[in-house]
Amino acid sequence: MATPRKVCVIGAGLTLFRRRMLETGKELSFEAVRMALDSAGIERKDVDTVVSGSAPDAFDGVHMKGEYLLDGSGAYRRPYSRVFVGGATGVYTPEAAWWHVASGMSEVCIAVAEEKMSPLQPHPAYAFWSIFDHDYERQLGTTLLWIFALEMRRYMAVHGIKEEEIAQVAVKNKKNAMDHPCAQLPANITVEDVMKSEPMVWPVKRLDVSPPSDGAAAVILASEAFAKKLTKEPVYVAGCGWNIDSTYWTDRDLYYPQYLENAGKMAYKMAGISNPRKEIDVAEVYDPFDYKELHHMEGLQLAKKGEAPKLTTRGITQRNGELPINPSGGLLGVGNPIAAAGMMKVCEIYFQLTGQAGKRQVKREVHTGLAQAWGDLMQYSSVFIMRRR
């Protein structure tokens, strides 16, 4: 394989995440991209390509969302495309932008992710009706929550994990979100609060779950030569990985995300990482549900199988811990506008690497950070690693 050229991240921006925003999807995209351009200190005229990422069209209620969002994404009369891998879209979008620049086809590429979930009535979750198999799943009235409950249950059963151990993740992330200016559901809660919250689909309770949201987030990628005109110490894209499991979720062993292990290995290989647990300084892993943070830490080899709850109990994943996980507050605290939520994680790692995370800045020194998202039907993972020299 020819060696791709080095790519840097030069700016990041995001909007508020809220249950309903007045701004349309185009306007949200504009605000995120405008902030990212300002953060990089460049203008749209400096940008030569754009990639937009957004999850199912059914949320916004506008088909061909890529086309719909283009002006607000900064793509007017530029090479442009929309990418879509369900919930994993937010971290996959900067990977698609990376191809643009790494291949030499582009000098500066905007990667923007948008989701406006609030239009769908009576609840955004209704969009998920349309993702299940029409012959084998929809008849029963299958919802996404059922599937996650089956997966959570399987993960708990294989390792003997208690609901209380999983609830610690919601407590940590909602607390971390109190320092995030865009956060929708920051809160100071206890494990008991999570345990006592409204049961949804056993064992999933209200506070185990992230909220649907409106929002957008963006990063700007550029060639090393371009980035060095802006700063002496740019942040580099160190690794990209993506992988998918079978369409048939019933074929998989739900206790462990093998597809994520594969995506992680792909990214680690590119980044020259042989021991992720030691070499990753901070990680934003996808946490639409609290158990998913643990599941994903294990798939990423940041914890051994079944070990992530123990690391959480020992405080290792706290912001001042040895391996801070989701210092932003994650989806559980900041909110879950699907594609934008993944991109929010990429932004957070950029802020952590450049010392711009303010109160959220982790205690340990950070050189290498990882963002990960998960999607399609519980089967896709995208992994994006950034490094500051």
Q: Which residues bind other proteins (CB under 8 A)?
A: 15-16, 18-22, 61, 118, 134-137, 139-143, 145-146, 149-151, 153-154, 157, 181-182, 201-203, 246-248, 250-251, 254
Cβ proximity to other proteins: between 67 and 233 the closer is 67
Strand segments (E) across 227-340: 235-244, 282-284
| Residue with tokens 């708990």, as numbered in its chain | 156
Minimum Å gap between C-beta 23 and other proteins is 9
Which positions ≥6 away from 278 have C-beta within 8 Å?
none
Q: Which is nearer to other proteins, 114 or 151 (CB)?
A: 151
Residue of 53, 63, 64 lying closest to 28 (CA atoms): 53
DSSP-derived secondary structure letter, 88: T
- Give the amino acid at 9: V
CB of 278 to other proteins, least distance (A): 34
Q: Cα separation of 13 and 35, whole Å?
A: 5
- Distance (Å, whole) CA 332 – CA 229: 38
Taking the least distance from each CB to other proteins, the nearer of 143 and 197 is 143
Q: Encoding tokens for residue 44?
A: 């749209």
Least distance in angstroms from the C-beta of 105 to other proteins: 32
Count other C-beta atoms under 10 Å from residue 277's C-beta: 16
Report the candidate in 264, 274, 87, 336 with the shortest Cα–Cα distance to residue 344.
336
> Which of 128, 146 has the CB closer to other proteins?
146
CB closer to other proteins out of 261 and 322: 261
Q: Which is nearer to other proteins, 76 or 136 (CB)?
A: 136
Residue 157 Cβ, how far from other proteins at the closest point, in Å? Answer: 5
Query: Phi, psi at residue 337, to the nearest 5°?
Result: -80, 95
Question: Could you tell me the smallest distance in angstroms from the CB atom of residue 94 to other proteins?
Answer: 23
Least separation, in Å, of the C-beta of 126 and other proteins? 12
Q: How far apart are CA 238 and CA 112, in angstroms?
A: 20
Of the two residues 254 and 280, which places its CB atom closer to other proteins in the complex?
254
Q: Calculate the CA dihedral of residues 133, 88, 221, 327 and round it to 10 degrees.
A: 160
- CB of 125 vs other proteins, minimal distance in Å: 12
